[in-house]
Chain A
């Protein structure tokens, strides 16, 4: 199993550009989530999904969109990049039917380091 994969590893964007961060998992996990990690702030939840077709907002959702058309993939879209979105982004997944994913250990991807100039 590849586990949780994220692409790209690094990205530089100009203010106002849009892009999609890819996340995929091959463990048939129902629960997937996106976090951003900023110095001194810890991991903050952006969006999560409890299954295909179901997504919801986390603590810091503004400026980001997600969709979950398949169990395997959970892309994160930046609509119009801003310098405040410079961060390291982690995707995670876990078991958990019926929305219980947060009760199980999370498997994290390797992260995407994004810089917005």
Chain B
């Protein structure tokens, strides 16, 4: 089982702050990395699937980068809004399966 780690475990920022969190994963036999946003009482929704070293993807105020050689990915949120409050999950592809990290819980207060 691949060990996917996310940090920090939780984060509390003020509206308008920019923030970022980290997903670390084993760099050997890399196939792809997923990012999901999971709001309370809902189900996870896909943000990005990243495959190439150096890749950067963006969706609105959220962006992600990938370093497969050193085994990490960063998720950035620019100008956080209360509606960004959620748990952000990353998952590494391991063959036919996905191994999820435990997530970073983000709270954005007005």
A interface vs B, CB < 8 Å?
31, 33, 35, 40-45, 48, 50, 56, 58-59, 90, 99, 101-111
Contact = CB atoms under 8 A, between A and B. Distances in A.
Interface of B: 1, 31-32, 34, 36, 42-46, 49, 51, 89, 91, 93-103
Given A42-B103, A59-B1, A108-B43, A103 B97 contact: no
Given A103-B31, A104-B49, A42 B102 contact: yes
A108 B103 CA distance: 16
A45 B97 contact: yes
B82 to A, nearest CB: 23
9 contacts: A35-B100, A43-B89, A59-B1, A102-B93, A102-B96, A105-B34, A108-B43, A108-B45, A109-B43
A105 B49 contact: yes
Given A99-B96, A106-B98, 19 more contacts: A33-B97, A35-B100, A41-B102, A43-B89, A43-B100, A44-B100, A45-B99, A48-B96, A48-B97, A59-B1, A102-B31, A102-B93, A102-B98, A103-B31, A103-B49, A104-B49, A105-B49, A106-B34, A106-B46
Contacts of A45: 97-99
Nearest to A91: B43
A31 B91 CA distance: 16
A56 B96 contact: yes
Contacts of A111: 43
